[in-house]
Structure 1
Amino acid sequence: MTSELNTDKLAVLFVDDEENVLKSLKRLFLDEPFAILTAGSGQAGLEILKETPVAVIVSDQKMPAMIGAEFLAKSCEIQPDAVRMILTGYADVSAAMDAINKGGAYRYITKPWNDEDLVHAVRDALERYRLGAENRRLTALTIEQNEELRKWGAELETYVQQQTIDLSRRNKELEQLAVKLKKNFRDMITAFLKIMELRDHLLYRHSIQVAALVEGMGKAMGLKAETLELLVSAAQLHDIGSLKSPDMSLLKDMKEMSPEEQQEYAVHPVRGQSVLSVIDDLKQVGLWIRNHHEWYNGQGFPDRIQGESIPLGARVIAVADTFDWMMCRAGHAQNAVAGMLEKIRPLFGVRLDPRLFESLKASAASVYTTDADKGQDIVIELPLEKLAVGMVLARDIRSGSNLLLLGKGAALSQKALDSLCRYHAVDPLKEKIAILTKVKPA
Structure 2
Amino acid sequence: MLDIKAVRQDPENVALALEKRGFSFDIEQFKSLDARRKQADVQSQHLLAERKAASKQIGALVGQGMSVDDAKAQVNETLQKIAAQIDDLTNEAKVVQALLEELLLAVPNIPADEVPLGASEDDNLEVARWGDPRSYDFQVKDHVALGEDLGQLDFETAGKITGSRFNVMYGDVARMHRALIQFMLNQHIEKHGYSEIYVPYIVNSDSLHGTGQLPKFEEDLFKLEGEQGYYLIPTAEVPVTNVARDRIFEDAELGQDGVKFVCHTPCFRSEAGSYGRDTRGIIRQHQFEKVELVQFVRPSQSDDALEALTGHAEKILQLLELPYRKVILCGGDIGFSARKTYDLEVWLPAQDTYREISSCSSFGDYQARRMQARWRNPQSGKPELLHTLNGSGLAVGRTLVAIMENYQQADGSIEVPAVLQPYMGGATTLST
Which structure has more relative contact order (CA 8 Å, sep 6+)? It is: 2
Greater Cα radius of gyration, structure 1 or 2? 1
Counting strand residues as a fraction of each chain, which structure ranks higher? 2
